[in-house]
Structure 1
Amino acid sequence: MLVFWKENLVLLAVPKTGSTALEGALAPRASMVLRDPPQLKHAPCYRYKRFLKPFFVQAGGQKPELMAVVRNPVDWLGSWYRYRTRADLMGHENSTRNVSFDEFVLEYCKGQPAPFANVGSQNKFLRINDGEVGVQHLFQYESWHKVIGFLEDRLEMTIILKEKNVSPPMELTISPEVEAKLRDKRAAEFAIWELGQS
């Protein structure tokens, strides 16, 4: 999470949406960088609203606008799947080395997925109250030029990104049947992605 006090903006770090690359480029410019522990770095909207928003209001009367990036659910799950194939997770319950991408997605569709497919929810990350979207500025990962354009205008700077925390490259395919099940069981994930600026 990055806080830009003067510009009245907080950039929330949705996992697997390029947040580490943005942090690398913008941390020197930020008023506050929350990078550890992961629960702070990746604090969702509801946690921000409960703990950090009152602190910011008390500190200066400000209610910063929130910004986040959301990724196509199939691509987002693909990034998680590839990330969890890495060698240092071999033998761990979170490893995806011995499951196919279809198996991973099917497990994710369950109410209580196994640890290897328990990767959270972009929809839950971004919603507060009774389903209200908690950010004022939501961008689709697939329109990265809009993310950068918005930040360059708001922060009055040129942004040069370097790849960080990138999942291992791998060709992935999802069967039509599995994708249909994903769209049915996790429709809210597609709905929140469609709300992003494309």
Structure 2
Amino acid sequence: MLVFWKENLVLLAVPKTGSTALEGALAPRASMVLRDPPHLKHAPCYRYKRFLRPFFVQAGGQTPELMAIVRNPIDWLGSWYRYRTRDDLIGHENSTRNVSFDEFVLEYCKGSPAPFANVGSQNKFLRINDGELGAEHLFQYEQWDKVISYLQDRLDIVITLKQKNVSPKMELTLSPAAEAKLRNKRAAEFAVWELGRR
């Protein structure tokens, strides 16, 4: 999570949406960088609104605007799947090394997925109250040029990104049946992605 005090902007770190690369590029410019522990770095909208926003409002007298990035759910799951194939996870319950992408996605669709497919929800990350979108500025990961353009204009800087925390390269294909189940069981994930700027 990055806080830009003068610009009244907080950039939330939605997992697997390029937040680590943005942090690397923007940390020197940020007023505050929340890196550790992970549950603070990746604080979702509801946690931010409950714990951090009141502190920021009291300290500065205004409510910071929230910005976040949301990724196509299939690509987002693909990134998680690839990330969990790493050698250092072999033998760990989170490893996807011996699981197909279809199996991973179908497990994710369950109410209580096994640890290897328990990767959270972009929809839950971005919602507050009774389903209200928590971020004023939501961008689709697939429109990275718009993310960069917005931040460059808002922060009045030129941004140069370096890849960080990148999942291993791997060709992934999701079967039509698994995709249909994902779209049915996790429709809210696609709905929140559709809300992002294109």
Normalising TM by the smaller chain, what interval? over 0.9
- The residue that corresponds to 1:195 in the other structure is 195
- Matching residue's letter, 2:122: Q
Q: Secondary structure at the match of 1:167?
A: coil
Partner Cα distance (1:182, 1:192) in 2 = 14
- The residue that corresponds to 1:48 in the other structure is 48
- Matching residue's letter, 2:4: F
Q: Secondary structure at the match of 1:39?
A: helix
1:36: how far off? Answer: 0.3
Normalised by the size of structure 2, how large is the TM-score?
1.00
- The residue that corresponds to 2:96 in the other structure is 96
Q: Unaligned stretches of 5+ in structure 2?
A: none
Percent identity (aligned): 85
Partner Cα distance (1:163, 1:50) in 2 = 32
Partner Cα distance (1:60, 1:6) in 2 = 10
Partner Cα distance (1:95, 1:56) in 2 = 38
Q: What is the alpha-carbon root mean square deviation over aligned residues?
A: 0.3
Normalised by the size of structure 1, how large is the TM-score?
1.00
1:62: how far off? Answer: 1.6
1:131 and 2:138 aligned? no
Q: Deviations over 1:71-107 (max 9, x none)?
A: 0000000000000000000000000001000000000
Partner Cα distance (1:11, 1:62) in 2 = 16
Q: Secondary structure at the match of 2:139?
A: strand
- Structure 1 runs, 4 residues or longer, greater than 3 Å off: none
Partner Cα distance (2:106, 2:50) in 1 = 33
Q: Secondary structure at the match of 1:29?
A: coil
State how many pairs are aligned.
Answer: 198
1:142: how far off? Answer: 0.2
Partner Cα distance (1:163, 1:41) in 2 = 18
- The residue that corresponds to 1:37 in the other structure is 37
Q: Secondary structure at the match of 1:168?
A: coil
Q: Secondary structure at the match of 1:28?
A: coil
Q: Unaligned stretches of 5+ in structure 1?
A: none
- The residue that corresponds to 1:153 in the other structure is 153
